[in-house]
Amino acid sequence: SESLPASVEALTLQSTSQTSQFEGCFPSLNPVDIYREHIAQEVAKIAEIDAQKVYSRLQWTNTLDKGDLTLPVPSLQIKKNPIELAKELAEKFPESDLVNKPTASGPQLQFFFKGQPLAKTVLGRILDQKAAYGTNGNQGLKDPSDPSKGKKKIIIEFSSPNIAKPFHAGHLRSTIIGGFLANLYTVMGWDVIKMNYLGDWGKQYGLLANGFKYFGSEEALLKDPINHLFDVYVKVNAIVSEQEGPIKELKEQIKQKKEKSEDVSSLEAELAKLVDASEDEKARRYFKSMEDQDPEALALWRRFRDLSIAKYKQTYARLNIDFDVYSGESQVKAESMTNAYKIMEKAGVAEESEGAIIADFTKHGAKKLGKAIIVRKDGTPLYLTRDIGAITERDEAYHFDRMIYVVAMQQDLHLAQLFKITELMGYKDLASRCQHINFGMVRGMSTRKGTVKFLDDILHDVGEKMHEVMKKNEVKYSQVENPEQTADTLGITAVMVQDMTGKRINGYDFNLEAMTSFEGDTGPYLQYAHARLCSMTRKSELNEDELNTANFDLLTERHAVDLCRLLAQWPDVLINTVKTQEPITVLSYLFRMTHMLSSSYDVLKVIGSEPELKKSRMALYAAARQVLNNGMRVLGLNPVQRM
């Protein structure tokens, strides 16, 4: 059913080996390709040039008044005045069933699709292909001319929170953007592996384990592991900070006495005692036992991890996300890291510096990357070291064609260092298959009760706010079957749409009022547009078979034709989105469409129209609903039927 989560999988339209003479042209998947093919062939004949050249120069437009496709005539590289040539090509372009006579606008040739044939092709296809309309299985093929060679594989690493620490805004954005990218590559026919790289290793687990002995409750752990572990972590950290003061003071005293050449042996003994008994030191020792594979220590850590993952899964499900792999810092094998040092040493990337091993990028033509520690003085690896081990492990385990890390821009340097080291180790090809997808900061993300800690708190708070907004319309509210659930879905949509508005690199202010409003380009507005189309379908009392036999020739009004032109763009929008890797590419298209729908309702009435006209208009709206639905799902939203 359409309300099931994670259902973009298996929706991909079968790839087709039926090839056109043009590369990347799949008329059976993308209706606009029919027009590209036609225009390219006709222009090529007139201009006496290669049709492939024309084909590859055709561009889509940003607004319908500039046509459906344009040809920048100078790009044809014909030695003639481009403005004259544009005029000439426009005049000579033959009568066509598909397009009107082109218009020359300066050196641009603008093509407008004819309404009726377009409506027939596009609406017919949408109603037939449904959720698969717009998808393109060829995009993900290793070789589009030979599907038997299989799909390309992409790892998308995203979300990646740290156990026992807050799920902050950076993780929220990574989750939303990563989920979107996973959907996008899936519907474009790639084999997608969704990976969560948890922060699940390090001294803080020693701290947590000891803290659990003092403050832990088995019952609370089972009930709400994420919150409970966080509480324990906060409490034990408070002890650590308390103990820091006296230790620091003592160190300072020793320093001063030493300067005066006074005896410090008793103070040093006292310091050693203090340090030894400190939580910080106990945590270090505990973590050391984990690193040394102490079974008991590992068992407790594993429980924390498993329980946390189980809880994360529930929260991710609310966002229609389920990971294929829960990896994490703990999963990186020691031998992958030692192997990596060896290779780095051989390649001259790693060197000793004050007892530690470092990589000095300034010596390798990458001044901006500075220096990075690879192994600490005490022999322990770092965050970067684990990533170096992980990247080679993943390459061996998955043989991926691409890997994307969805991580906040605060880690730009970290990922640049990772990729550079990979390259310097001699894995140039591996480095070139990896990409960092970054994003800006969310400012002021908090719940109404106070500062936010976890994703569930935020989603709950926004859901409640949405519930209040819904209650304001009593009549409608009474018709919604499960208002709590709908409010929850609308709340999640509100958060996600606000996050996806604007380019990834821009930060934004978390604004509960703005995101839950029905005014403007918000999540609730998008859901409302979808619910309204669903309601029209119900009220029309026309079934699918009846809509399929609609006479599309009756759709003659400007609004109807323009809507069809917009619906025809969806497959191109998806292809363009693969290039931009920006959710806003999809989102702004959906808003363009919903605005056009809003202005069409008065002109293209369904109820009260003649039966045949009613049927064809309803078919148009049903097709629009389908495309809206498809777009929302790629974004990771759950379209509602009623609200």
Q: Single out the residue of 517, 521, 495 nearest to residue 508, CA to CA.
A: 495
Our CA dihedral for 625, 628, 632, 633, rounded to 10 degrees, sits at 60
Q: Which residues, at least 6 apart from 572, have a Cβ–Cβ distance to it below 8 Å?
A: 30, 32, 60
Of the two residues 385 and 616, which places its CB atom closer to ligand ARG in the complex?
385
The one-character DSSP state at 440 is -
Residue 420 beta carbon to ligand ARG: minimum distance, rounded to whole angstroms: 15
Residue 331 beta carbon to ligand ARG: minimum distance, rounded to whole angstroms: 12
d(Cα 466, Cα 483) in Å, to the nearest integer? 10
Residue 202 beta carbon to ligand ARG: minimum distance, rounded to whole angstroms: 10
Of the two residues 115 and 328, which places its CB atom closer to ligand ARG in the complex?
328
Residue 467 beta carbon to ligand ARG: minimum distance, rounded to whole angstroms: 31
Of the two residues 393 and 572, which places its CB atom closer to ligand ARG in the complex?
393
Site membership for ligand ARG, residue 385 (CB under 6 A) = no
Tokens of 82: 């481009």
Hey, how many other C-beta atoms are within 10 angstroms of the C-beta on 25? 20
Of the two residues 386 and 615, which places its CB atom closer to ligand ARG in the complex?
386
Site for ligand ARG in 51-110 (CB under 6 A): none
Site for ligand ARG in 510-529 (CB under 6 A): none
Hey, how many other C-beta atoms are within 10 angstroms of the C-beta on 233? 21
Residue 390 beta carbon to ligand ARG: minimum distance, rounded to whole angstroms: 7
Q: Single out the residue of 80, 105, 94 nearest to residue 44, CA to CA.
A: 94
Hey, how many other C-beta atoms are within 10 angstroms of the C-beta on 523? 30
Q: Which span sits near ligand ARG by CB under 6 A: 155-163, 252-260, 308-316, 621-629?
A: 155-163
Instruction: Tell me which residues are annotated as active site.
Output: 165, 168, 171
d(Cα 318, Cα 179) in Å, to the nearest integer? 12
Residue 457 beta carbon to ligand ARG: minimum distance, rounded to whole angstroms: 18
425 within 8 A of 344, measured Cβ to Cβ: yes
d(Cα 68, Cα 87) in Å, to the nearest integer? 18
Q: Single out the residue of 115, 95, 116, 92 nearest to residue 104, CA to CA.
A: 92
Q: Which span sits near ligand ARG by CB under 6 A: 85-93, 156-164, 450-458, 505-513?
A: 156-164
Of the two residues 347 and 409, which places its CB atom closer to ligand ARG in the complex?
409
d(Cα 497, Cα 526) in Å, to the nearest integer? 9
8 within 8 A of 187, measured Cβ to Cβ: yes
Our CA dihedral for 458, 463, 468, 473, rounded to 10 degrees, sits at 150
Using CB under 6 A, pick the residue from 279, 280, 387, 461 that binds ligand ARG.
Answer: 387
Residues constituting the chain = 643
486 within 8 A of 640, measured Cβ to Cβ: yes
Q: Which span sits near ligand ARG by CB under 6 A: 37-45, 157-165, 431-439, 498-506?
A: 157-165
Of the two residues 405 and 427, which places its CB atom closer to ligand ARG in the complex?
405
Query: What x/- string results for residues 176 through 205 when contact with ligand ARG is judged by CB under 6 A?
Result: ---------------------x-x------
| Greatest C-alpha distance within the chain | 104
**Residue 568 dihedral angles phi and psi, to the nearest 5°:** -65, -20
Using CB under 6 A, pick the residue from 405, 427, 525, 589 that binds ligand ARG.
Answer: 405
Tell me, by CB under 6 A, how many residues bind ligand ARG: 8
Q: Which span sits near ligand ARG by CB under 6 A: 113-121, 154-162, 430-438, 610-618?
A: 154-162
**3-class DSSP string for 155-210:** EEECCCCECCCCCCHHHHHHHHHHHHHHHHHHHCCCEEEEEEEEECCCHHHHHHHH
3 state SS of 614: helix
Residue 199 beta carbon to ligand ARG: minimum distance, rounded to whole angstroms: 4
Residue 141 beta carbon to ligand ARG: minimum distance, rounded to whole angstroms: 28
Of the two residues 168 and 465, which places its CB atom closer to ligand ARG in the complex?
168
Hey, how many other C-beta atoms are within 10 angstroms of the C-beta on 356? 15
Strand 108-111: give its sheet, edge to edge. Answer: 59-60, 69-72, 108-111, 103-105
The one-character DSSP state at 114 is -
Tokens of 538: 């119900």
Of the two residues 391 and 606, which places its CB atom closer to ligand ARG in the complex?
391
The alpha carbon of 408 is separated from its chain's Cα centroid by a whole number of angstroms, namely 12
Residue 162 beta carbon to ligand ARG: minimum distance, rounded to whole angstroms: 5
Of the two residues 86 and 388, which places its CB atom closer to ligand ARG in the complex?
388
Using CB under 6 A, pick the residue from 407, 424, 494, 622 that binds ligand ARG.
Answer: 407
Residues lying near ligand ARG in the complex (CB under 6 A): 157, 160, 162, 197, 199, 387, 405, 407
